[in-house]
Amino acid sequence: MKVSDTSDLWWKSAVIYCLDVESFMDGDGNGIGDLGGLATRIDYLAELGVTCLWLMPFYPSPDRDDGYDITDFYGVDHRLGHLGDVVEVIRIARDRGIRVIVDLVVNHTSDKHPWFKAARSSRDSPYRDFYVWRDEPPAHQPAPVFPDQETSDWQWDEKAGQYYQHVFYRQQPDLNITDERVRDEIVKVIGFWLELGVSGFRIDAVPFLLQTDGVIDGARKLPDPHAYLRSLRAFLGRRTGDGIFLGEVNLSRERQNEFFDGAEGDELTMQFDFIAMQNLYLSLARGDARPLAEALLSRPEGSPDIQWANFVRNHDELTLDKLTDDERQEVFAAFGPEERMQVYGRGLIRRLPPMLDGDPRRIRMVYSLLFSLPGTPVLFYGEEIGMGENLDAGGRMSVRTPMQWTAGRNGGFSTARPSRLRTPMTEGAFGPEHVNVADQRHDPDSLLQFMTGLIRHYRNARELGWGAFEVIEQPDSAVFAHTLTAGRHRTVAVHNFSPDARTVRLPVGLPDAALAAEPVGEHGIRLVDHFTGVTVPVERGAAEVPLDGYGYRWFRVEG
């Protein structure tokens, strides 16, 4: 599905903000965040500059996997509100210029879902084939996704008298997309939420959704799972014209390109760039920008209608699975040396500020980098104020602690007793008494004010979301310099991964033949700092730019 009208490609220059409704704002004082509370905080998101709100699952759930174990794809968990509250959130957000996308988690259901209850009741149940069953698990299985929790992808069900497949937790039986009725239900779910006003979906674990290896009946296997994904994208396009699929695809570059459908761009609209994220942390650990540069340059070329989603932190563990064993150990040693900070042998359960020891120079450099990279920036709630994690919460919940609004009780998240909070607050140096929205709103030097300004500059520079990317080679491995060019608009960004100051030479001029004839300055080319408006002289096609330790600068190329 080619999109010819570039005005419809709103995601190219979006600022996406992910939040867990249960952890953002408690509107009724019961210790659990809810949609009513979220509605009162949308103006805050608008002030920050957010243009797209991504809601983690709010559907009915036993909550054994933070809402990803769903019992009704068409409903709202009673603890969080009801459908009317969802519509109100979408309406308020739209009035503030913010689109809303929601999680589409259709690779599995909860084992409490009515479909699964019916499926396990009898082999003759019409819902039996909604799931994947075997009399015996296969002799050879992939390693479990959660090796600390599961030893197999198959679970015996006494009532059903068979094993069912579960790629994730045993309480999440896999749906069988080779069954036409399941595929029809997925389309209905998409159509339902589109009718309520969402602008698209973040699709959970896309490769697992399309995997059909566990299904025994080969005649019913999808001959081309990607054709199915293309059909979903076509449906999305027919219903909305500008809706998006933002996919979670943590695979090699070659495999990632398959989910974009190569040059056609007919499958996912956007993908998270897990490879660039992991190499960013390797670059930070080494003080060497080259791993990040190489990861960005390895992105496959594709349709202009697709986009990469860049992130520093997400709602899951900070996975490092695409690094080598030695590289992963480097990152562990630098940012998560204690065993309790690590999970599954491949990831960290920490937020960025504690990993960087609260160093404001380094933290701001990383976020400057995030917003200047080719692609669309995605923030996880609380990043804009520098929230930390609570390791005592355990696992992925360590970074899903309540949002810190004030320095008061429960960080202003809830009026309930602290013991009633679903997840305990972060404590210590990154707790709400030191890190909160209210204080930072009134502090011109706060991270919140910095991030608000950063987002404003990003949104005012069209080339940052749309531009062609080029790395400017540097003799100093600690320096990462790149350009983004869209038509006559061009930005040069430079970042220093070292604690020591640097002077960087940035070639920004005309071709060599023109430079030999006369200085570029005579052509009127100049570099203008995005943040300060200061002009840096350009002589014979290059500018000498001073950088502080962990410094960063963005320049418009004018003239």
List active site positions: 204, 248
CA-CA distance, 517 to 262, in Å (whole number)? 43
CA-CA distance, 421 to 22, in Å (whole number)? 10
Q: What is the 3-state secondary structure (H, E, C) of 238-281?
A: HHHCCCEEEECCCCCHHHHHHHHCCCCCCCCCEEECHHHHHHHH
Buried b (16+ CB within 10 A) or exposed e, 441-466: eeeeebbbebbbebbebbbebbbbbb
Q: What is the 3-state secondary structure (H, E, C) of 311-341?
A: ECCCCCCEECCCCCHHHHHHHHHHHCCCHHH
Q: In what order do the strands lie in the sheet with 154-157?
A: 133-134, 162-165, 154-157
| Nearest one of 493, 506, 488, 472 to 559, comparing CA atoms | 488
CA-CA distance, 205 to 202, in Å (whole number)? 10
Q: Token digits for 456?
A: 């404003």
CA-CA distance, 325 to 335, in Å (whole number)? 15
CA-CA distance, 28 to 46, in Å (whole number)? 23
Q: Token digits for 323?
A: 């690094």
Place of tokens 């994220």: 277
Which H/E stretch holds residue 156?
strand 154-157
CA-CA distance, 430 to 390, in Å (whole number)? 9
3-state secondary structure of 523: helix
Q: Please name every residue paired with 101 in a beta bridge, in sequence order, or none if there are none.
A: 54
* Beta strands 162-165 and 133-134, pairing class: antiparallel
**209 phi and psi, to 5 degrees?**
-60, -40
Would you say 164 and 132 are in contact if contact means Cβ atoms under 8 Å apart? yes
Would you say 409 and 418 are in contact if contact means Cβ atoms under 8 Å apart? yes
